[in-house]
Structures are given as C-alpha cells and as structure tokens.
Structure 1
Amino acid sequence: MPVNRPRPEPSSHPISRRTVLRGSLIAAAAAGLPAVSPPVRAVAAGGGRSVAVFGGGVSGLTAAHELSERGYQVTVYEPVALGGKARSMSVPGTGAGGRLDLPGEHGFRFFPGCYQHIPETMSRIPFPGNARGVADNLVRVQAATVAFRDLPPVVTPVEVGGLAEITPETLRTTLAAAVGLIPRLPPQELALFTQKMLRWFTSSTERRFGEWEYRSWAQVMEADGKSDAYREYLVNALTRITVAAKPYRSSARTIGTIGEALVLAGTGLVPQYGGGVDRILNRPTNEAWIDPWVAHLRGLGVRFELGAKAIGLELDNGRITSARVSGGADGRVDADWYICAMPVERAVPLLSDDILDADPRLAGMRDLEVDWMVGIQYYLTRPTDLPEGHIAALGTPWALTALRQAAMWVGDFASRYGDGSVVECLSVDVSDWDTPGIVFGKSAKDCTKDEVAQEVWAQLSAWLNNSTGWLREDDIHSWFLDPGVHWTGGAATNDTPLLVNTIGSWDNRPEAATAIPNLFFAGDHVRTHIDLATMEGANESGRAAANALLDAAGDPGSRAPIYPLYAPPVFEPLKALDADRYRAGLPHLLDA
C-alpha cells in the first residue's frame, strides 16, 4: 500500500492566493511558447491503456516496468538520458586501442540492505549468466573506512556480529560501539546520542509525524552547547553525508527513519533486509543495470522518446487531455494516463492554475527544496591501496564520501577502459557545496571546475593520508566532474540537484495519486516509506504511481508490491504507550 499519512487541516497550513498566483506566472510563461502540432497518441492505444511517462529516471522506468508487465502501452519521454541521476556515463574521447571510454557518473551507487524495492525490480531484469538477473550484480561490502583530520583512518566492519536478538539493550550497545570510535567524544555525550536514538526507536507514529517532523536533527540531538566532536561528527557529518542533508534544516523524522533502517540492516537479524548493510554494483551502473533494464523494457513493448521534455499539461473537464512537449517528440502527446516522473524542480512548472484549482494540495510542491550532491571521479595510474568499501571523510568541509571502484568490479579495468594506463577509479561524492574549503577558502559553488578537483583531492588527502600515504597526486591521470554542473560567466549551476527533506516538508509532498483521475506523480519527492531522495524512494514511488493508475482504471490485475520498513516487534508496546502519552500532551518517557 502507498504511504498515506493524514495531511494537516487547511487552517493549520493554508494555501494562500498569493501562492497559487505564483503558479499562474509559470503557466503564463509556458503559454507563451510557440504553437505546437496537433495531438499524436503516445502509442497506438486501445481500450484506454496508453500511458505517457514523463521522465526516464528510476521512478519513470519503474512505473513503465510495472505497467508494461500488466499489458499497458507505455511511452517514456526523457529530455536528457535514461537512468537520470542513477546512470553512469562515458567520458568522451578517453578510450583507445579498442577500449571503452572511462566510466563517469553523477555519484557512486550505494544499495544498503534496507532497500527492498530496487533489488526486487533488479531480480526481474535479465542479465546473461545471472540466475537472479541484475540483482546478482550487487556485491556485498564488508567494511568501511572512516577518516578524521590529523588522525589515522579507521577500517571498521559495516555489520554487527554476534547479536542474538534486537532489544533496547542490544540496540544501545550496538550504537555505542558504532560511534565509540569517534575521537574526543565525551562519554556523557555518547550516552546522550544513544538515548536519543532509543527515543526514536520507541516513538509512536503520532509523535514521529507530529513532533520529529517539525524539528531539525540538530534540535532533537541537542547539539547546541555540546563538544566539537559531538556537533561535528555525530550531528553534522553523519547528516551531511546522508544525501546532502543539513542538520539544522533537515527533518529529524527523515534522518531518524533512514538511521533506524541502516542500524537494523547492520544487525543482520532482519530477514527483509538481506544482502548486508552495504552493497555496490560490480561494474559501471549502465552496464550492470540501466542498459539491461532499458533493453528489457523495450522487449516488453515500452517506447522511448529521447530528447523530449514535458512543458505543459492540458486540463479539460477535470482530466488531462494532452501534454505539450518540446524536443524529440515535438508537439502534443495524447494518452489515456499521464505519469509525471520528473524531478520536483522540473515538475513544478507544470502546475498551472487550472491544475492547482483541480488539486490545491499540489501547490505544496513549490515549497520543496533542493540542494547539491554531485560526484567527481579520479582516474589513477597506480592502485591506491585503500581498503575495499565506502570511505567517509568525517568533518571534511565539503562532506566527502568516496568509493574505490575498480577493485570491486569484474574484469581488468585497464584492459577494458581508457588508454590502458588507468588502473583505478576513485569516485567521490561532494555533499556540501556551500562551506569554504581548505585550499582556496571558497565554497565549491564559488570555485572553478579545476579548483573543485584540486580542493576535493586536498581534503581527501588531508583526511586519508595520516600514517598511510594512500593517495598520491602523481598518480592522477585525469578526473571527471558530473556534467550536470557547469560554469556560465564564472558562476556554477547544477542541472541535477537533489531533494532535501527540510523541517515540515512532508506536508508539501504529494501522494502518487492526485484529484485529477488520470494524472499521477512519481519521483523521490513523492511520499514513500524510505522518505529520502534515493533510488529506493524513486522506485517505490514508481510502483505507487503504477498502482494508483491501476486503481483509477479499475484494473483487476495484481498490484506492484510496496514494502514497509521493518519495525522491531519488541518496541511496539513502548510505541503504543508513547502514542497514549502523545495524545495526552505528555513528553516521551525518556524525556520525562
């Protein structure tokens, strides 16, 4: 079932006429576009089963997958590239001697064990030699490297061994062990952190949505007045490396939700969270997943219109009658059903006055916020000797995380990619583009492209090279920054920002179904269980959009499964008690 939390009454979060009028400006701008040709059907439709999906990222491909399996005629319209922010891409002109171009990407892929929807979809995508299709291309990661400035990095297991059951005490012990490696953390603050996490685990749904949603992570963790180690590492760093989240602006409920799922996956005691807490793909994303997925969808009859962007929706008599597109499918698209699977910043311009009049709840989408989380890859002529697995450089100004890729990919990297001299690809995600760096004293947004590359390498070296010498600047063959970031007139812009779940933003996020019976939304801004801008959230939202369409069509066929996050039964009595206390206006027992 889709996530369907009750929205606040209109009186508590009113939608002002001024807010609606902002949409009319967008609609007016769209109305000024050149005239387009007469409608064409998305596909040769019959029996009301043609579907137009706008956006070919994970959410759009998921919706197309589910609906095409159920006999719907689906056309996907994508303006840039299939796979969206999840795709990998070639670095043009870098292949030689019959080799492929070097692989680049928006950012490295991470598939924690709490992801349930993505692996299930992958298992239905055929891949040569794999019994479970693309899902068998996931590789389990056993350890992670945690680095602090001026201290030797620590290599630590990502999973907890020896636990017989999940209880409040074993959870407290596990959390204490996991964060106990943080240097200079006072014992009383370690105890406070574990208490706050236990408070989350035992908070009722009512308190989570009524209290945690409207407070920042820094507030609930009582960051003010604490030690530098507590604020910098436990509150700030652990939040910033989680999809560009900022501790003083992010909803505490969102951070608590993903934190709980990761902790439970790390215990190894949750059957639904199989495969370990950390997995990566065993080759570049497009080779391992996206290209086989697109080929499979084509085999199911899905059509793809590349270079086509939705720029307007036509509403008549309460239904969408057509969509205006620019680019590859120049003109208007006429289908029976419409799924908007575009990123929120690209979906918002479609919300014209008549759309908002038909469903005023959608106006909240315009108040959702995005931020930058972008990757850079370094191609090296010698192995780094970094351990396999993810790298968290905690406390770096730009909130860097990294992954040594070639060592965990199939085949010989130098023989397959580049000019034969590159043996290693170190992929780095930059999650903070607003804080000054250590070399140029500027934020990433204020740096040139070359300065970004120099600054990222300098920060990684300062955090990782203490007593190791893992990174050597002389080994850099070249580097590649996500082309979504580009410079115009000296200013950096980003075509691929990421949704950030700010305080109270759940109220502004749409469900997959709308009050317009043939219009649906998918994307990581749609309400999902994982509640974070992730591939998993995008996949779940695509399933929810497909199910909502099936419901609206009165289709008797099966629905795409939606998997809730696991909730340990041992905490249910405490949650029930807390629900009574919350309704009575009383604090949580751990705060009493």
Structure 2
Amino acid sequence: MTELVNFGAPSTIPQNLLSGVLSVPDMFLYMYSVIDLLGTPMKQDRYRDLISVNAFAATKPYATEASVGMYDEYLAKTFAIASYLTSAKSFQTFLEYGAYCPTPLYWALIGDSFNKFLGPLKSKLESLGVKINFNYQAHTLQLNQDGNISGVCFERCKGFDPSLSEFTWRQVRRDFLGGQAPELELVNIEGPLILAIPHEALSKLLSAAVLNRNPQLGECEKLVSVPMASIHLHLNRRFSQRLGAMHAVLPPEPVVLLNSNFKLSFVSNSSLWTGSTNTYLNIVASDSRPLGNLSAPSGFTADRVWNQQPSTLSIDHPMTTLDHILHEFRRFVPFEQNEIEIELLELDRNSGRELFINDVGSWKWRPESQTKIRNLFLAGDFCKNDIDVVCLEGAVVSGLQAAELVRQRDGIGAPIRIVAPKRHPHSTFWPLKILLAPYAAGAKVWSFCNELIESRNR
C-alpha cells in the first residue's frame, strides 16, 4: 500500500520517502519545500507575505509539478481549500506547531462526540450554574443610547436543529409548517456579551446601528467558508467477514484518499471506538461543491423529519450527492450495496455550517475578540488568535481571549492564562535548508530525467 505515516516525525522520513506516493526525487523535493517554508520569516501584516502556498512552492527553482501538487492533496482534504488559495503564512504556522511536537500526529475521541465531548462539557457547565437554552437563533442586536448592547432578540425554533438541517428555520416554517409566524423573545443584556457564532451569522446581526459603532465588523463579509460533506456509513457483518477473509484491516487513523474526486478521506470509527462490532466509517468529502445542485436526498439526512419523501440509493448509476460520493469511495474501499445498513446511512452536507478557510489576505479582515462596542466581544476560529489556522484549538483560544477581556473589563477574578503552543524559530531550519540544497538540485535533475524517460516511452 502506498501511504504516508506521521509525516512530521523525523523517524518516518525514510519510510515516507520510499512510500511510492511520489517518486523518490519528487517526495524529497516536497519535503525540502516544507523545510524551506519553515525557515522563511513571514508576517501576516506584510504585503510581500500575502502569497499562497502554491505561489511559494511553485516559484522555487527546485519545484516540480508533482512536488507542488502534493500540497493540494494535503490542503484540500484537511482544510477544504486549494493550495493556490491557502495563505502561506497560516499554513506555515500550522507546520511550525507540528514540527515542534510531531508525535502524536493527532488526538481522537474513542467514542461519539456527544458522549465523549459535548455531553460531559454540557454537564460541567450546568454544574457551574450555566443555563443553556437550545433551539434558539439570534435575530437582532439592540443598542442603547450609550452605544452598548442592551438586548438580543432571539427567534425560537421548536423542534428544529440548525446544526444538522440543510434548511433554514425560515424555510422550515414556510414550506413545512404552513407559514407559521416567528416567535421572538427579547433578552435584556446588562453586562458583557460574548458572541461565539460563525462569521456568516455575525454578518446577519450587523445592523446600521452596530456598523456605525464598529464599521470594521463589516469586513467579515469578505471572509469565506465552504462546506465539507460527511457520510455515516455502517456496513454489516457480510462486509466484515469479507474484509477478514482478505486479511485486511481498516486503520484507526484518518485516511486520505489520494487523487480522489471530491477530495475524500475517511476514519474507521469502529477501529477506534471501544465496543464496536460491525464496520462504521465516517467519510468526508472536502470538496463537495461540484455536487451542490444535486439532491442529498433528504431521506438520508436529518431533514427526513420535515421532508418525508422516499429516497433510494443508486451507487452504480449515481443520481444524488450521496450516490456520487459512495460511488467514488467504492473505488478505494470496495463494498456492495447490500452490505450497507440502510437505516443507519446518513449524509450531512453541512449547508449553513461551512468551514472557515484561511485564504490569502483573510487575516486583515478577521475581527479581534475586542470590538469597539464596549460590552460586545467575539469568539470563533475566524477571530484573530495565535493559533491562526481554522481548527478547534483556534476557536478555544479565541474564547479564552474573549473571557480574559471580559475579566479585565469588570475587574474580577484571576487573569486567564493562555498557553501558546511552542514552535522553533525560523533560524532553526536554516542549516538544514543550506545542507540539503545540493541534494535538492540533484533531485530536481533526477525528476527531470524521469519525466524525459516517461515522455519518450509514451
């Protein structure tokens, strides 16, 4: 099997170099370009550093088509963004954290996210006296004469879960609830308010009054997010038996499927979670936009509660988004349609819950946690923070930033200490960059000769 393992660890360099994912010279040049990027001083606020990963890598004299293309495989599947759009500085920050501590490559839950993460977090918050109201959406912000937030108007969404539905609550009310009138509820704000919402939701709350107080918040409209579709695929015992007969094992680590349409990757939850019996795979299509105009279909989404239309599978002759993704996935992990546990099959296209992307120049438009409205603070991975790259850690740090700003404003409690991940200075990589430069030149010649031989053999 051609595979890369724990790419940031020095101990895996020989294995990855000989992995067969790329030719040896092209893989060496890809690795060298990573070292080159790590050793290049860059700043978010310098115009000369407003370049994409592709622009950085492709303009180097040692670059080859294959070595540069490897970035696209990595970035598109991990962050849902092409290398020619990805901020080189943001990606550099991500690499710096991994280079300082390459092992373990990642942490994973050994169970579903609600029972292992969200549920315990909810219980802890409630034990501290936090009141959590579900099925509400922020509708408008109200300001008082002093220009502070005096209230938030919420719209109640009975039985509606916006974190799973492809519809907006307005569409559900109009199309499935007979045009039911909105139920609005005003909550008065007497102290600080932290809005921990996506940038698209924040933009919808920016009335003329809010923008007059803080015009820079309008720049959030320039931020970009894209959907990453995911499929919960449960396969029955017949598949498990066939897998065992082939002496094959699905790894517990995330698997990136090279050269796949829709930029597919998957995790075998059943290989990772304790107590699993049959095979349970979570498939992610990082670029499902080409399928955006097709039906999901709703019978295999959370919207089957509202839109109870019969849905069928047609994997051999794809007709829907689900069909196309499963058809492509089957090229890499063969399975039969009768091996699917249909009642557990579900697609989430994440419409309305898109992933913020670190495209070139976006840092300038990202808001600070502190706004110009004295009692309004922001949190979310799109806010400026030391982590920079879109991820759970960035969202957490932005929340800590907002909490510390509130603490400073009200003068209560002890300071909230935010521990920044460690990273090597750029100069650490300079000796390696210089030492390997002659080998990079040799690898470029080797790669060129390979291309020449291949072209003559065609």
Structure 2 length as normaliser, TM-score? 0.74
Name the CA shift for 1:545/1:213 in 2 (closer, same or farther; >3 Å): farther
Hey, what does 2:291 align to over in structure 1? 444
The reply on whether 1:525 has 2:377 as its aligned counterpart is: no
Equivalent of 1:331 in 174, 182, 185:
185
Judge conservation of contact 2:322–2:347 (CA < 8 Å) in 1: no
Cα 1:513–1:180 change in 2 (3 A) is: farther
CA distance in 2, matches of 1:569, 1:223: 24
Which of 8, 13, 19 is residue 181 of structure 1 equivalent to? 19
Letter in 2 for 1:214: L
CA contact (8 A) 1:202 1:572 kept: yes
User: Which amino acid in structure 2 is aligned with residue 372 of structure 1?
Assistant: P
The answer as to 2:348 corresponding to 1:463 is no
For structure 1, which runs of at least 5 residues remain unmatched after alignment? 1-151, 163-173, 269-275, 415-422, 435-442, 466-470, 486-493, 576-592
| CA spacing shift, 1:396–1:370, aligned 2, 3 Å | same
Runs of 5+ in structure 2 lacking a partner?
158-182, 244-248, 297-312, 314-319, 432-458
- CA deviations 1:429-485 (Å, max 9, x no partner) are 110123xxxxxxxx22133325333322332232346xxxxx454421125344455
Is the 1:372–1:433 contact (alpha carbons within 8 Å) kept by the matching residues of 2? Answer: yes
The one-character-per-residue Cα deviations of 1:257-310 (angstroms, maximum 9, x if unpaired) are: 2233234332x4xxxxxxx12221111110111011101111100001111111
Q: Supply the distance in 2 between the matched residues of 1:217 and 1:477 (Cα, whole angstroms).
A: 41
Partner of 1:242: 78
> What is the CA–CA distance in structure 2 between the aligned matches of 1:425 and 1:549, rounded to whole Å?
43
In the TM superposition, what is the alpha-carbon distance from 1:231 to its structure 2 partner?
Answer: 4.3
3-state SS of the aligned residue for 1:457? Answer: helix
Q: Which has the higher contact order (CA 8 A, sep 6+)?
A: 1
Whether contact under 8 Å (1:176, 1:190) holds in the other structure is no
What's the secondary structure of 1:203's corresponding residue?
A: coil
Distance of 1:319 and 1:223 partners within structure 2: 49
Quickly say closer, same or farther: Cα 1:260–1:330, change in 2 above 3 A: same
Distance change >3 Å, CA 568–CA 176, structure 1 → 2? farther
Paired AA for residue 240 in structure 1: A
Matches within 5 A, 1:112-151: none
How many pairs align?
371
> Is 1:256 paired with 2:70?
no
d(CA) in 2 for partners of 1:573 and 1:532?
A: 21
Q: CA deviation at 1:205?
A: 4.6
**Structure 1 182/513 Cα, relative in aligned 2: closer, same or farther at 3 Å?**
farther
The answer as to 2:54 corresponding to 1:197 is: no
- 1:572 deviates by 6.1
Shift of 1:424: 1.7
* Cα displacement (A) at 1:405: 0.5
Contact conserved, 2:231 with 2:348, CA < 8 A, in 1? Answer: no
Give the counterpart of 1:539 among 396, 418, 441: 396
Equivalent residue of 1:463, what SS? Answer: coil
Instruction: Specify the SS of the correspondent of 1:279.
Output: coil
- Residue 217 of structure 1: how far off its partner (Å): 1.3
Instruction: Indicate which of 408, 423, 432 corresponds to 1:567.
Output: 423
What TM-score comes out, normalization by structure 1 length? 0.58
The secondary structure found in structure 1 opposite 2:421 is: coil
SS in 2 for 1:221: helix
Counterpart of 1:352 in structure 2 is 207
RMSD: 2.8
Q: Specify the alignment match of 2:357 in structure 1.
A: 500
CA drift at 1:252: 1.4
Corresponding position: 1:280 with 2:108: yes
**Whose helix proportion is higher, 1 or 2?**
2
- Structure-1 separation of matches of 2:95 and 2:337: 35
Residue aligning to 2:345: 480
Residues 313 and 223 of structure 1, relative CA distance in 2, 3 Å threshold: same
The structure richer in strand per residue is 1
| Contact 1:212 1:253 survives alignment (8 Å) | no
Q: Would you say the 8 A contact 1:510–1:527 is kept in 2?
A: yes
Residues 394-405 of structure 1 mapped to structure 2, 5 A cutoff? 394-405=258-269
Q: In structure 1, give the amino acid aligned to 2:133.
A: E
Change (3 A) 1:179 1:255: farther
Spell out, residue by residue over 1:35-68, the C-alpha distance to the aligned partner (whole angstroms, 9 max, x if none).
xxxxxxxxxxxxxxxxxxxxxxxxxxxxxxxxxx
The 3-state SS of whatever aligns with 2:105 is coil
Q: Is the 8 A contact 2:234 2:340 kept in 1?
A: yes
Answering whether residue 12 of structure 2 is matched by residue 160 of structure 1, we say no
**Distance of 2:382 and 2:115 partners within structure 1:** 27
